[in-house]
Amino acid sequence: MKKATLFHNPNAGEKDFSKDELLGIIKKNGFDVSYASIKQENWERIQENTDFLIIAGGDGTIRRVTKALMKRQRIEKQFPVAILPHGTANNIATTLGIEGSPTEIIKSWKKSSLKSLDIGMVHGLDKEMFFLEGCGFGIFPRLMKVMEKMEIDIGDSVEHKLKVALAVLYEIVLNYTPHACKIVADGVKQTGKYLMVEVMNTRSIGPNLELSTSSDPGDGEFEIVLIPEEHKDKFADYLLDQINGKEAAYAFTVLKATKIEIKWEGKDMHVDDERLKLKDPIVITIDVLPGMMDFMVKTS
């Protein structure tokens, strides 16, 4: 019997997974499992006889567990990770193709394969930071700022939260002032004014908005997704169609690179779910750390 450690965020999503329910389903499917709430002290301690880790939560919970794992020495035992998506957007799980009911996902662990995930290291800030989903500038960190203020008022419904976020993003796009940016992607320069410059490791970001259909989180490179100033109206129309449930299409400008340098003249920046307020123009560099984590995914 394989032994697992379950890391659970009891506050994620719509709060419909209790500790006992999760443990019951996992044990019923033949796994020996111990429990740790990420809201408790010393949750990150892992018994060495553990075969794999389970993360029940959203993208923020996955990032939090990853941060703890990155503190481990590479000579220590490394653990495969299984995800039970339980957040609002679940962009990481979606990119990895992890979907279905909890019971369906748990059953798939018996015959799973491993999918590597790269990590992006961001240099040039006050502190070194990493990302799993993405790092970027412009309208998305501005969306994060607005949604943080609205969070208490929009309730717990995932569907409602995502729809509100799209509506807020639409208003931001209409009123956002594009900023000058210089991008050097594997030595190739690109300059202009942009509403958004987003370095992506997942296919979607924020309110499940798919920006890069070709993103493979384990291919050793990142996608740089751009929305230039002249596409402001086109992108706004695309968002409006999505809000109204219509067929929506928009051709994003996408670059691929392993070594990235960005100079941004605006003030809005984020690294995964952490929003940063910039006082001055900034120059950052981004490196790929390939195959840093292995996730258990359904064998095709």
3-state secondary structure of 193: strand
Structural domains in the chain plus CATH codes: 3-117+294-298 (3.40.50.10330), 120-290 (2.60.200.40)
pLDDT higher than threshold 90 for residue 16: no
> Which of 109, 79, 105 has its CA nearest to residue 93?
105
Structure tokens at 82: 């299984």
Q: What is the mean pLDDT of the chain?
A: 91
Q: Mean pLDDT, to the nearest integer, of 16-37?
A: 90
pLDDT digits (tens, 9 = 90+) for 95-128: 999 999 999 999 999 999 999 999 999 999 999 9
pLDDT in tens, 28-80: 999 999 999 998 998 988 888 999 999 999 999 999 999 999 887 665 678 99
pLDDT of residue 213: 85
pLDDT band at residue 9, thresholds of 50, 70 and 90?
Answer: confident
Q: 179-185 and 129-131: which strand pairing?
A: unpaired
pLDDT tens-digit map of 146-173: 998 886 566 667 788 888 999 999 999 9
Residues 192-211 as b or e (16 or more Cβ within 10 Å = b): bebbbbbbbbbbbbbbbbeb
Measured distance CA(79)–CA(98) in Å, rounded? 18
Residue 127 — φ and ψ, nearest 5°?
-140, 155
- Beta strands 52-57 and 3-8 are parallel
Amino acid at 47: Q
Q: Is 94 exposed, middle or buried (0-12, 13-18, 19+ CB in 10 A)?
A: middle
- The Cα angle at residue 270 between residues 266 and 273, in degrees rounded to 5: 160
